[in-house]
Structure 1
């Protein structure tokens, strides 16, 4: 069994830098500019992932002006810190650093490097066999195109570069501008809003969850230019995109009937040979984690309206999200907490006991179609307008499933000031009040349980991401969960 310390050392910044300098870059004219760890993900006792942004440069060095100001590198803080979903542990806080202006190269590029370690030798043996079968036909040089992963038996870890992925075996094709140009030309009437000839496709990585999913941005250049369009594609394994397309088609119809209460991207097709689901882009940017910003409270109100619309939509789906599955997942996490944070272990153990006790005698709520991963950052805003995205977990669930999740993620895990906590509480009240105004008949007797389960789920996610200070944040969320479990609706 490989220890966590050994895995972290083998996949750490120093080891990755050495691998790049000694294995990847020799023989090329590219220079290593910077290696920055973006995310980590821990699933004890099975695996550990680390993702890196690798900046390269070549050509001539261009030096900054002598009086240039220091630069604070902007980082899009993902919800692993504030609000990552309990079942999505693929992200952790990105490191921001202020630094003096550095020389730049006339040509620069950035690669995404993934390192995955496997603790158990038997699991490693089966994993390396899977990787070989999945990507063995790719090349060996990541500088010139998709390359098969490098495997290290002594430390039981693998390294690969996007767009290769051991579980998303068609990702490198979906990220190929030439192949996608052919696809979009063959389906131009479906993807273009106005007639035109697609002349070029630019592909950009929007989001990547290694071995889970990737979201790609496609900028379609056309003749005439007025027909140009940006669309998004999601690559998932196991033909999941087919269901995504079916569900989004029904949600789009419901949105068209909602008088603006629900605004969603338009589905543009599913291509099974690539595992690629396509949809239109929507204007705006995600609501940030700053609860005091002017768009936050109106966004929360819109979220209540959108969820009420979904709950009334009667969209059919075979997928269900039962409460006992959520509670069982927390129970399975207990042993993991015992390995890394005993205090959180005891808090979670007590919380689970109270959850099970409170469930006794509580009747089920109405089962309704629902988003399944409802959080404030799933809302995009622009000029006072809001759109809802990311329906990957759409399913049937009890009435309070998404209500509890949304409210649980309103709570800041590491508030920078008391104003953030106050604004979160105001948002919670506004969200619940607007929803109950639209659906006064809603059955919400299990709401405290769902909110508590998701607060505990956030603590679980913090443990997996291993960000600095996660122990205290996880304990705080578990304490808040106990308080919510014993409280009434506001």
Structure 2
């Protein structure tokens, strides 16, 4: 991770994010921050920035803002966007006021401000443990505990979370999946054949699905978005908030366990215990029966993730993309009713 001190110039360049250089400019930050920070923090003495996540082409860059002030040291998480995303800040404000505030047992990280001229979202830094860390822990009881807490947070959000953002209906999802199929088809064998078979099976399965009530959705819910603290579970990364089939968020977590198992333990089934604990806890506390849609959504996410591998093309992406397509086909063959 790159670190930037107040005396240095921008360490990350991305022409796709027009305001990135300004967001890293210490003089600019010192101009904007005093108006949005709590008065008890005092005057800013120094600023340090550390890039946490940046991949050119994604349209965003996440970094930590470490402030030395007249009253102590404080940290914020900043995310600068290629496009105006003031909507994310406003959505987070509404979610926070709807029972997911910073002191709640099931919470989101507190939105501090959105600096429109910089396209910069500022949020509190939550000093918690990523659920992923415990999911990867060799201690099975730690894995299960983390999975259960992820499930409890999601069930609560699906039950009472405010319905905000884009409404994702089944036809919208199928249209997106068809785009994934076509992109993978351009690669030739074995991707074209497997992606087409998977999409055709998904399309046929979709016609048999019962109607399910849509609810507040996170959109990319995995253990990487969940922070665990004493007595609190906090979910971050709200760029993809939506209104959707609740089984999508559930399936996203379950496929996430498969991908973690494959990446760290060379087996998609290595974290089946955690996956079972997550699903059992969610079903026990949720108001909606997602089981009838779950196989479809898991297989759909496998197709999405294969397409995502094509977009990113990181090391080993071909093998992982093919594994995702194979898993999607297996899920529909064995689990779909």
Report if aligned partners of 1:310, 1:369 keep a CA contact under 8 Å in 2. yes
- Give the drift of 1:239: 1.8
The whole-number CA distance in structure 1 between the counterparts of 2:169 and 2:310 is 24
Pairing 1:1-400 to 2, within 5 Å after superposition: 145=9, 162-163=12-13, 165-189=14-38, 194-211=40-57, 212-225=59-72, 228-240=73-85, 242-253=86-97, 254-256=99-101, 260=105, 262-286=106-130, 287-288=132-133, 291-294=136-139, 295-381=142-228, 386-400=233-247
- Give a deviation string over 1:205-230, Cα, whole Å, max 9, x none: 222132400112111111132xx210
The whole-number CA distance in structure 1 between the counterparts of 2:103 and 2:33 is 31
2:330 corresponds to which residue? Answer: 483
Q: Larger deviation: 441-450 or 251-260?
A: 251-260
Report if aligned partners of 1:365, 1:445 keep a CA contact under 8 Å in 2. no
Please give the secondary structure, in 2, of the residue aligned with 1:342: coil
1:23 corresponds to which residue? Answer: none
Report if aligned partners of 1:409, 1:455 keep a CA contact under 8 Å in 2. no
- Give a deviation string over 1:138-184, Cα, whole Å, max 9, x none: xxxxxx856xxxxxxxxxxxxxx724x33321111111112111222
- Give the drift of 1:376: 1.3
Q: Larger deviation: 403-412 or 479-488?
A: 479-488
Structure 1 pair 412/384, CA: closer, same or farther in 2 (3 Å)?
farther
- Give the drift of 1:446: 1.6
The whole-number CA distance in structure 2 between the counterparts of 1:464 and 1:404 is 21
Structure with greater helix percent: 2
The whole-number CA distance in structure 2 between the counterparts of 1:214 and 1:232 is 11
Gapped regions of structure 2 (runs ≥ 5): none
The whole-number CA distance in structure 2 between the counterparts of 1:289 and 1:338 is 37
- Give the drift of 1:231: 0.5
Please give the secondary structure, in 2, of the residue aligned with 1:263: strand
- Give a deviation string over 1:52-77, Cα, whole Å, max 9, x none: x9xxxxxxxxxxxxxxxxxxxxxxxx
- Give the drift of 1:305: 0.9
Please give the secondary structure, in 1, of the residue aligned with 2:292: coil
1:157 corresponds to which residue? Answer: none
2:300 corresponds to which residue? Answer: 453
Structure 1 pair 470/269, CA: closer, same or farther in 2 (3 Å)?
closer
Report if aligned partners of 1:258, 1:309 keep a CA contact under 8 Å in 2. no
Q: Larger deviation: 477-486 or 171-180?
A: 477-486
TM-score by length of 1: 0.61
The whole-number CA distance in structure 2 between the counterparts of 1:425 and 1:336 is 30
- Give the drift of 1:257: 9.6
Pairing 1:400-479 to 2, within 5 Å after superposition: 400-412=247-259, 414-415=262-263, 417=265, 421-479=268-326
Report if aligned partners of 1:206, 1:216 keep a CA contact under 8 Å in 2. yes
- Give a deviation string over 1:327-380, Cα, whole Å, max 9, x none: 323322334333434112111111111111111132331110011111111122
Q: Larger deviation: 370-379 or 327-336?
A: 327-336
Report if aligned partners of 1:304, 1:435 keep a CA contact under 8 Å in 2. yes
Structure 1 pair 187/452, CA: closer, same or farther in 2 (3 Å)?
same
Report if aligned partners of 2:52, 2:64 keep a CA contact under 8 Å in 1. yes
Q: Quote the RMSD (CA, aligned, Å).
A: 2.9
Report if aligned partners of 2:306, 2:324 keep a CA contact under 8 Å in 1. yes
Quick check: which has more Rg, 1 or 2?
Answer: 1
Please give the secondary structure, in 1, of the residue aligned with 2:51: strand
